[in-house]
């Protein structure tokens, strides 16, 4: 089937099997290798992308449902100023992520900022949980997110 959607700000048209998962479309048909599907079942969060301002698991979205969406992957997000803010936050908090889940982490945090939220610790922890990482605790990530949020809102006030 032919699907039309916005991908990283560009109108995109593709011919793909209707059940092909968005995660695979992004990787195979669009060459976006920053999408890292793992479980294929909405459990790990490796395939996270933004649908508008919302984080979604692209492995759960078949092609026919991707039609008409506004999708941002890490490749698109990197072009926005928010990326730098998050990078600095993570850096200052000493966040050490594996290469595999790092982009999904950035996007899930980016979603908080895009949505204009100023979450408390519990909400931040919930957001961290969107990307299931079995190898580190949430401490440094939480600090990283706090730093990024502070910088973002300080800039906004200016």
Partner 1 sequence: MNEKRFREKLAGRIRFPEDVSSKKTLFARALRSPYPSGTIEKIELPPLPEDAFIMDYHTLPGSKTFQLPLGEMPLLTESRISYRGEPILLVGASREEELNEILAGISLTIIPEPELPPLSLDQRENVQYERHFLRGEAEKILEKEDLIQDEDFFVIESQEPSTRLSAQVSCQKEGNRYIIHSVNQWPSQLRKNAASALKIRRDQIILRNYPHDNNQESRLWYTSLTACHAALLCQLSKRPVRFLIDEEENRLLTPARGKTEIYIKGALSSEGDLLALKVDFALDVGAFGLMTQEIIDRMTLACTGVYQCRNLEITGSGIRTNRMPTGFFSDLNQAPILFAVESFTNNLIRLGGFEPYEWKIENRIRKGNLFLGESTLAKPTPLLKIMENLTTSSDFQRKHTSYQNLQDQRLSLSENRESFHRGIAMSLAYSGNDFLYNHTDLTTAAVRGVLDKEGYLQLYLPIQPGIDRTKKRWAQMAASLLSLEGPDRVSFFFDQEKMNGGPLSAGRSITHITRLIELCCENIQKKRFRDPLPIDVTKRYSRQESRWDKDKMDGVPFHSLSWGGCVVEVEIDQESYELKMRNIWFVLEAGLILDEPSSRVTVERGLYLALENSLGKDWQKRYKFPSYQVDFISTGNTPQGLGGLVQSLFPPALACAINQASERKGYTLPLEEGLLTEDDRQ
Residues binding partner 1 (CB under 8 A): 33-36, 38-41, 43-44, 46, 73-75, 78, 83, 86-87, 90-91, 94, 96-103, 105-106, 125, 133-140
Q: Which of partner 1, ligand FES, none sits in contact with 154, Cβ below 5 to 8 A by type?
A: none
CB of 141 to ligand FES, least distance (A): 9
Q: Which of partner 1, ligand FES, none sits in contact with 29, Cβ below 5 to 8 A by type?
A: none
CB of 157 to partner 1, least distance (A): 25
Measured between its terminal Cα atoms, the distance across the chain in Å is: 48
Helix or strand or coil: residue 64?
A: helix
E strand or H helix at 15 = strand 10-15
Cα separation values, 110 from 1, 5, 146, Å: 31, 21, 12
Q: Which of partner 1, ligand FES, none sits in contact with 86, Cβ below 5 to 8 A by type?
A: partner 1
* Bridge partners for 54 per DSSP: 51
As a whole number of angstroms, the distance between CA 33 and CA 56 comes to 17
CB of 148 to partner 1, least distance (A): 12
Query: Which residue spans within the chain are E strands per DSSP?
Result: 2-7, 10-15, 48-51, 54-57, 70-72
Structure-token match 């594996």, residue found: 98
| Residue among 44 and 74 whose Cβ is closer to ligand FES | 44
Q: Which of ligand FES, partner 1, none sits in contact with 33, Cβ below 5 to 8 A by type?
A: partner 1
């Amino acid at each position: 089937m032919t699907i039309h959607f916005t991908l990283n700000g560009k109108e995109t048209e593709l011919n793909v099997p209707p059940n092909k998962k968005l995660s695979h479309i992004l990787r195979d048909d669009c060459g976006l290798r920053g999408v890292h599907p793992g479980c294929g079942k909405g459990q790990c969060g490796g395939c996270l992308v933004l649908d508008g301002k919302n984080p979604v698991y692209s492995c759960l979205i078949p092609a026919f449902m991707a039609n008409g969406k506004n999708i941002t992957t890490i490749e698109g997000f990197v072009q926005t100023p928010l990326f730098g803010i998050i990078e600095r936050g993570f850096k200052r908090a000493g966040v050490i992520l594996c290469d595999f889940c790092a982009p999904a982490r950035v996007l899930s945090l980016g979603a908080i900022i895009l949505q204009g939220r100023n979450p408390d610790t519990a909400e931040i922890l919930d957001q961290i949980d969107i990307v299931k990482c079995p190898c580190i605790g949430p401490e440094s990530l939480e600090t990283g997110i706090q730093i990024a949020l502070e910088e973002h809102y300080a800039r906004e006030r200016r």
